[in-house]
Amino acid sequence: MENYPLYQIIDENGEWVNKSYEKELNEEKVKEFYYHMLRIRTYDQKGVALQRQGRIGTYVPFPGHEGAQVGSALALSENDWMFPTYRDHGASLTFGADLDRMFLHWNGRIEGCLPSREKRIMPASIPIATHLPHATGAAIAEVYKGTDNAAIAYFGDGATSEGDFHEGLNIASVFKAPVVFFNQNNGYAISLPIEKQMNSETIAQKAVAYGIPGVRVDGMDVFAVHYAVKEALERARKGEGPTLIEAVVIRFGAHTTADDPSKYRDQEEINRQKEAKDPLLRLKKHMQFRGFWSEEWVENIQSDIRTEIESAVVKMESAPTANTDDMFDHVFSEPTWTISRQKEQLGLMGGNR
Amino acid sequence: MENYPLYQIIDENGEWVNKSYEKELNEEKVKEFYYHMLRIRTYDQKGVALQRQGRIGTYVPFPGHEGAQVGSALALSENDWMFPTYRDHGASLTFGADLDRMFLHWNGRIEGCLPSREKRIMPASIPIATHLPHATGAAIAEVYKGTDNAAIAYFGDGATSEGDFHEGLNIASVFKAPVVFFNQNNGYAISLPIEKQMNSETIAQKAVAYGIPGVRVDGMDVFAVHYAVKEALERARKGEGPTLIEAVVIRFGAHTTADDPSKYRDQEEINRQKEAKDPLLRLKKHMQFRGFWSEEWVENIQSDIRTEIESAVVKMESAPTANTDDMFDHVFSEPTWTISRQKEQLGLMGGNR
Amino acid sequence: MVMSNEIIKTKAPSQSLTMIQAITDGLKTMLESDQNTIIMGEDVGRNGGVFRATDGLQETFGEKRVIDTPLSEAGFVGTAVGMALAGLKPVVEIQFLGFIYPAFEQIATHVTRMRMRTLGQYHIPMVIRAPYGAGVRSPEIHSESVEALFTHLPGIKVVCPSNAYDAKGLLLAAVEDPDPVLFLEPMRLYRGSRVDVPTGDYRVEIGKGTRVQEGNDVTIFAWGAMIPLVMKASEQMKKDGISCDVIDLRSLYPLDRDLIADSVQKTGRVVIVHEGHETGGLGSEIISIINDTSFLYLKAPVEKVTGFDVPVPLFSLENDYLPSTERVETAIRKAYTF
Amino acid sequence: MVMSNEIIKTKAPSQSLTMIQAITDGLKTMLESDQNTIIMGEDVGRNGGVFRATDGLQETFGEKRVIDTPLSEAGFVGTAVGMALAGLKPVVEIQFLGFIYPAFEQIATHVTRMRMRTLGQYHIPMVIRAPYGAGVRSPEIHSESVEALFTHLPGIKVVCPSNAYDAKGLLLAAVEDPDPVLFLEPMRLYRGSRVDVPTGDYRVEIGKGTRVQEGNDVTIFAWGAMIPLVMKASEQMKKDGISCDVIDLRSLYPLDRDLIADSVQKTGRVVIVHEGHETGGLGSEIISIINDTSFLYLKAPVEKVTGFDVPVPLFSLENDYLPSTERVETAIRKAYTF
Ligand SMILES: Cc1ncc(C[n+]2csc(CCOP(=O)(O)OP(=O)(O)O)c2C)c(N)n1
Ligand SMILES: Cc1ncc(C[n+]2csc(CCOP(=O)(O)OP(=O)(O)O)c2C)c(N)n1
Ligand SMILES: [Mg+2]
Ligand SMILES: [Mg+2]
């Protein structure tokens, strides 16, 4: 632990721990962070509500992770690559994913699988840790092409136990790939607490295995996350290779809407921690003491966000029914005879409904 | 590197670096080490010769690794588990594998796949790093059963890049499994030099990722290896969990008899290093200055070893032809109808020859 | 109501259980009767498994026997290999069949081979349980039906129950089997219906299918979640005067060659229904067995109703991917009228 | 001498090459013509590959284009996925097919699905090359013939040449293909014989088999290393007055349905030969296609000569595992005399 102290810029009361970035963190910039955190939290609440109403499928909430997701996503450059998991739709949205696509995705629609047709945000990786090597590969390809684009891969504490975590970091370290491995350590992989996931005290220290920098940051401090990621990206673009960042967060809610956390942890205790540590609250306190806070401003952005989200929901719900052809037409650039024949046979029966 | 100094007991001239074990390393014990090293080297020379003569298939030589393999194998207790790779037949033989089985194995015979019917030496693992989790599992099972048996897994520098290395060590660390992960870092995975295999300066430092001890030892110093493994085993049996040991060695020869190392390295330079660093030579020098060396003794054991090996070769070559039934009869405890039918059909045709 | 022949025969004390309850009951029976059995997997302990298959078992049997593992399929299947070598009987849960791929190397190169390469000195009495199949609106990769990947690997048996009775009986048979068994659990049937399940220990023999409906015109081969679907279609067919011989294969490796031949030689017309991809699916293997055993009996080409050669799509299209009763009925008619 | 139809047709300047030389030549042609192509794998650089398939290429094209990777199949196949997303065309070498298993998850969940999940916005133009098959006295796990695992995965094509001409032509077609292709290289044929191979760029179409011998009595389907064996058996059969229509399928997914039907409808008698395990092997898939296309033409049950349902044994028994000319001849006679 001593080797990997928790890096903070503001503490739980929103007060400065480290003033190096005070100038840069001006009103506009701070408000941008808050705006995005509020936006994705509002979106998240909508997601949970839609799931409860049976209007979408299983949903993955991320409250507690907003600082980590917004802080990291806002550190990226336009053409960087983002490789998120199922829990990182907050980061995807902040980087530029389409809201309606995200909802479509939760509604089991292939159209929603790719978060954006413009930004390089890859579909959420479902098989844990498998996308880490992808980020490595995209990063190496950017060097090959001579750009200075970088890549970021998101993953959880549980993901560090998979072989692909290890292989992705090792290859990136050997080729000095411009990639940031951004871990959100929320202390749980579904029900498994981190002490049973690993014997190491921190995730950051796993960087030693690859001879790369490991950084441990308070993931509920959006500033700390932001600058840690920014500096890692700078190192990456300078050819200094990958960085492993551990952002320590708390998952306030359930693993997914299908999960019941009271089976495996004291949810009361978590709720108490939420009161004290909520990243939005912390930023609010900070804004208050710096005089950046205005109820009116918040009400305004809140109402804009609500409108934006509602219209995305409308868009999602008014989308034409899923097209069976999509299942057949995009397996290969040209369907093989097997697929054409299967499509034809299903078509002859008027489909399956 | 500074954190992981190369642990030595004797230096390249056979002189003490560390005298802590001087007493224990009495004439008898030192001669035992030399005997085993000479035995496996003689066996190895026979293996290469047999392959050249077309009397066995591809063979995997290990010269340079004798100190590491003998030092580690002699640290094990009777009922410990050994999980070797294809290059660790020296360790297997030292721990108690049958010589004729080993030759049978190189001759493509299933009968030789299991090194011993008595000692718990598992078949050499061919898919790199896959046996590390097995060692973890056997070790956990021994704890479950309440014994104080431990396990050792052998693997190379290349193996550290595979996911199974990572997963095996992580699980072992979480469950404090009594297992020693014994790496022989010979600097090459076939043609790939270690600098292209990993970005970390040492393999030992990868232990940090699992919060376990990592030890870096001169693998050509049989004493250093022996005590490093012994102490790791003691920790293991005390319930203190796994240790990662990196034994630094040089692979004097080719990767296998099918490999041509001059394609990828300066073999002249390696030959020069062999002159200076050969683990047998080093031990001989040590024995000489301690007055343990006697040409007569060496000639005696050399001749015993030759006889033993020749008779194992005779046994291998006079083994009855491979039995086709073996292919069918041991897939399941009782053959399924598919296998019975296939066996019958082949039998009806008088087999395949 | 679909049920196996055995259900009718049994007279033991029983209770009415869903499939998931029967699986839990089977695991409990196992843990009670053999100290060397253990359960391992992700979230199987305190959480009781994401489907609650191991609910309460860690509380009763302790952390040494019901083991939460790190998120590491290759690692814990490999660990289970080591445990099996040392004499334990691990029952490993893969959270969804689509997450078995990281363990593929361990299965293909060790789990399935240890007996052969040691000429029987060591063997791997491991059971790998995995919820599988589409139809419950799961996310991507949670709906795979890739049993055919495993029936092609020599050295592992594959079974799949279609009801609670078979689930417990096959599970206990798998645990007893000295060799590796992949135990597939159709998620769609976990809670759908209840049947009487004996409270004690009993076995459903691996390698034997069962005739769930007697008929003379067309044979239908299916298993798992396809059985209720097929039963519905065959009910429908009765109205048209077509009587179906419905076979629940249950054991996917080895397949029940005798039962396959027996039914085909009676009807001469065959429909095979499975949700795995068509090409390389088990349907082709069954056709191959029919070719071997019943060539002269066939009156029509065998019809297959299967999943398509496409990745199982996100759930809005999963019903398009899955065999439907309409597709099954069309196939039956086609076989019947050829 | 076994060769494809195309060889006879071609008039381009050519050289006489072994299969391994033709593969190297194909890779060179690729690297010369497209800057976005790269080669990755274990020992492919300085060492030129354990079979010398990439010999000299790193020297010519540099370390950025011919990349030695760490020993990490999941890692480098995954890395290649990322590269492909970013517009490169990686040709990945798996040292032996038996070592593809660690990359199975990457292949099954990403390589094969990226196009579908992004509705075509991204695609993975990756070629995975792998030496495969038994018969060269390799160690354990070096002799696998598990093509059927991949023909069952939707989203990847699988090809396998039986001669140098097809090797280069199929390889270049695979590289050109915008989708993933598994390119299987029968080790046994690497250096066995030479054929004329055009020096320039040409393609052998994926999805098309080829008739390597015209005959009327019995059809033989085979590919890869089985072709020379089958040709020997069919020569033998000529003495008994049995003429064989020998089809080299070459493309294993998709199979050449038309050619299969065409030959079966001519002969009505079929023998399928492959070295993969019988159950779930491609033989059953071919039987299924025959069932679909040619039911009324069959005069005898289809005969299969395959590897057995056992792990490929250590090399002292590999010839017992492999199909032999005797087994093929027996099967031809059986089909002929039924
Ligand atoms: C290979 C694989 N195994 C299992 C799962 C099932 N699964 C989904 S999320 C999850 C836990 C992930 O934990 P962590 O990496 O900490 O991320 P978090 O969900 O906490 O964000 C598991 C086991 C999966 N998706 N992929
Ligand atoms: C999964 C897997 N991939 C590739 C190979 C082929 N192969 C055999 S040995 C070897 C190099 C191993 O290097 P290292 O781990 O350093 O051990 P060493 O041979 O040097 O003892 C490779 C790539 C294999 N056996 N298994
Ligand atoms: Mg987590
Ligand atoms: Mg090495």
Predicted local confidence at residue B2, as pLDDT: 72
Contact by Cβ (8 Å): C84, C121: no
Q: Is B238 exposed, middle or buried (0-12, 13-18, 19+ CB in 10 A)?
A: exposed
Predicted local confidence at residue C280, as pLDDT: 98
Based on the domain organization, do C172 and C83 belong to the same domain? Answer: yes
Within a domain: C204:
no
Based on the domain organization, do D172 and D229 belong to the same domain? Answer: no
Catalytic residue among B255, B282, B286, B330: B255
A158 in contact with ligand 1, CB cutoff 6 A: yes
Predicted local confidence at residue C1, as pLDDT: 35
CB atoms inside a 10 Å sphere around CB D311: 27
Quote the number of domains for chain C: 2
Based on the domain organization, do C176 and C256 belong to the same domain? Answer: no
Catalytic residue among C110, C142, C274, C277: C142
Q: Which two tokens stand for residue C236?
A: 């429908």
Based on the domain organization, do C244 and C186 belong to the same domain? Answer: no
> Would you give the distance in Å from CA D146 to the centre of its chain?
11
What is the extent of the structural domain holding D77?
5-198
Is the pLDDT score of A259 beyond 80? yes
| C156 interaction partners in chain D (CB closer than 8 Å) | none
Touching D (3+ Cβ pairs <8 A), the chains are A, B, C
Contact by Cβ (8 Å): B130, B83: no
Q: Residue D127 is which amino acid? A: V
Q: Which of B306, B319, B321, B274 lies closest to B61, judged by CA?
A: B274
Is the pLDDT score of D3 beyond 70? no
Predicted complex: ipTM over 0.95: yes
CA of D225 to the centre of ligand 2 (A): 26
Q: Which two tokens stand for residue B119?
A: 């000692």
Predicted local confidence at residue B1, as pLDDT: 62
**How many CB pairs lie under 8 A apart between chains B and C?**
138
Within a domain: D30:
yes
Sign of CA dihedral A128, A133, A139, A141: negative
Is the pLDDT score of A330 beyond 90? yes
| D87 interaction partners in chain A (CB closer than 8 Å) | 141, 145
- Residue B327: closest C-alpha in chain D: D313
Within a domain: C263:
yes
CATH number at residue D187: 3.40.50.970
Q: Is D307 on the interface with C (CB under 8 A)?
A: no
Based on the domain organization, do C181 and C41 belong to the same domain? Answer: yes
Distance from the Cα of D140 to chain B's closest Cα (Å) equals 7
Predicted local confidence at residue D227, as pLDDT: 98
Based on the domain organization, do D255 and D188 belong to the same domain? Answer: no
- Summarize pLDDT for D73-102 with one digit per residue, the tens: 999 999 999 999 999 999 999 999 999 999
Is the pLDDT score of A349 beyond 80? no
Last residue within a domain, chosen from D198, D231, D255: D198
Based on the domain organization, do C109 and C251 belong to the same domain? Answer: no
Based on the domain organization, do D329 and D223 belong to the same domain? Answer: yes
| A110 interaction partners in chain D (CB closer than 8 Å) | 116-117, 119
Give the one of B109, B158, B343 whose C-beta lies nearest to D71's C-beta: B158
Share of chain D above pLDDT 90, in %: 96
Segment A329-339 mean pLDDT? 98
| Closest CA to ligand 2's atom 19 | B189
Within a domain: D162:
yes
Do the Cβ atoms of D75 and B161 come within 8 Å? Answer: yes
CATH number at residue C229: 3.40.50.920
- Summarize pLDDT for D232-276 with one digit per residue, the tens: 999 999 999 999 999 999 999 999 999 999 999 999 999 999 999
Predicted local confidence at residue D247, as pLDDT: 98
Distance from the Cα of A22 to chain D's closest Cα (Å) equals 37
Best probe of the A interface among D36, D68, D79, D89, by most A CBs < 10 A, is D79
Active site residue A36: no
Give the one of B163, B164, B327 whose C-beta lies nearest to D321's C-beta: B327
CA of A198 to the centre of ligand 3 (A): 12
C155 in contact with ligand 1, CB cutoff 6 A: no
Q: Which are the contacts of D295, defined by CB distance < 8 A and separation ≥ 6?
A: C298, C300, C301
CA of B57 to the centre of ligand 4 (A): 21
Based on the domain organization, do C59 and C165 belong to the same domain? Answer: yes
Do the Cβ atoms of A141 and D86 come within 8 Å? Answer: yes
Predicted local confidence at residue C43, as pLDDT: 98
Within a domain: C205:
no
Best probe of the D interface among C142, C143, C145, C149, by most D CBs < 10 A, is C149
Based on the domain organization, do C230 and C185 belong to the same domain? Answer: no
C-alpha to C-alpha distance for A71 and A89, rounded to whole angstroms: 14
| B293 three-state secondary structure | coil
Do the Cβ atoms of C75 and A163 come within 8 Å? Answer: yes
| Closest CA to ligand 1's atom 4 | C99
- Summarize pLDDT for B120-137 with one digit per residue, the tens: 999 999 999 999 999 999
C-alpha to C-alpha distance for C176 and C157, rounded to whole angstroms: 13
Within a domain: D203:
no
| B57 interaction partners in chain D (CB closer than 8 Å) | 137, 139, 315
Q: How would you write B236-253 as a 3-class SS string?
A: HHCCCCCEEEEEECCCCC
Based on the domain organization, do D187 and D220 belong to the same domain? Answer: no
**Which of A206-210, A349-353, B182-186, C100-104 is least confident?**
A349-353
Dihedral pair phi/psi, residue A112, rounded to 5°: -95, 0
C-alpha to C-alpha distance for C17 and C20, rounded to whole angstroms: 8
Contact by Cβ (8 Å): B85, B27: no
Place of tokens 């020998």: D246
Distance from the Cα of B209 to chain C's closest Cα (Å) equals 15
List the alpha helices (DSSP H) in chain B: 27-52, 66-73, 89-95, 99-106, 132-145, 163-174, 194-197, 222-237, 267-277, 279-289, 295-317, 324-329, 337-348
- Summarize pLDDT for A300-315 with one digit per residue, the tens: 999 999 999 999 999 9
Catalytic residue among A39, A120, A235, A251: A251
Do the Cβ atoms of C74 and A163 come within 8 Å? Answer: yes
Length of chain C: 338
Is the pLDDT score of A205 beyond 60? yes
Active site residue B255: yes
Q: Is D105 on the interface with B (CB under 8 A)?
A: no
Residue D337: C-alpha distances to residues D214, D268, D297 (Å): 20, 12, 16
Is the pLDDT score of C75 beyond 50? yes
Within a domain: C217:
yes
CA of A252 to the centre of ligand 3 (A): 11
Q: Which atom of ligand 1 is nearest to the CA of C71?
A: 23
CA of B189 to the centre of ligand 4 (A): 4
Q: Is C68 on the interface with B (CB under 8 A)?
A: no
A3: confidence class by pLDDT, cuts 50, 70, 90: confident
pTM above 0.90, yes or no: yes
Last residue within a domain, chosen from C198, C223, C249: C198
Is the pLDDT score of D157 beyond 50? yes
Catalytic residue among D110, D142, D274, D277: D142
Within a domain: C175:
yes
Last residue within a domain, chosen from D198, D223, D241: D198
CA of B126 to the centre of ligand 2 (A): 8
Is the pLDDT score of D8 beyond 60? no
| B166 interaction partners in chain A (CB closer than 8 Å) | 163, 165-167
pLDDT in tens, chain B (353 residues): 678 999 999 999 999 999 999 999 999 999 999 999 999 999 999 999 999 999 999 999 999 999 999 999 999 999 999 999 999 999 999 999 999 999 999 999 999 999 999 999 999 999 999 999 999 999 999 999 999 999 999 999 999 999 999 999 999 999 999 999 999 999 999 999 999 999 999 999 999 999 999 999 999 999 999 999 999 999 999 999 999 999 999 999 999 999 999 999 999 999 999 999 999 999 999 999 999 999 999 999 999 999 999 999 999 999 999 999 999 999 999 999 999 999 999 998 766 54
| Closest CA to ligand 2's atom 26 | B127
Q: Chain C window 147-166: which residues touch D at a Cβ cutoff of 8 Å?
A: 148-149, 151-155
A127 in contact with ligand 1, CB cutoff 6 A: yes
**How many CB pairs lie under 8 A apart between chains A and D?**
139
A157 in contact with ligand 1, CB cutoff 6 A: yes
Based on the domain organization, do C97 and C223 belong to the same domain? Answer: no
Ligand 2 pocket (Cβ < 6 Å) reads: B 87, 126-128, 155-159, 186, 188-190, 255; D 42, 71, 73, 95, 99, 102
CA of A189 to the centre of ligand 3 (A): 4
Radius of gyration of chain D measured on its C-alpha atoms: 19
Q: Is D79 on the interface with A (CB under 8 A)?
A: yes
C2: confidence class by pLDDT, cuts 50, 70, 90: very low
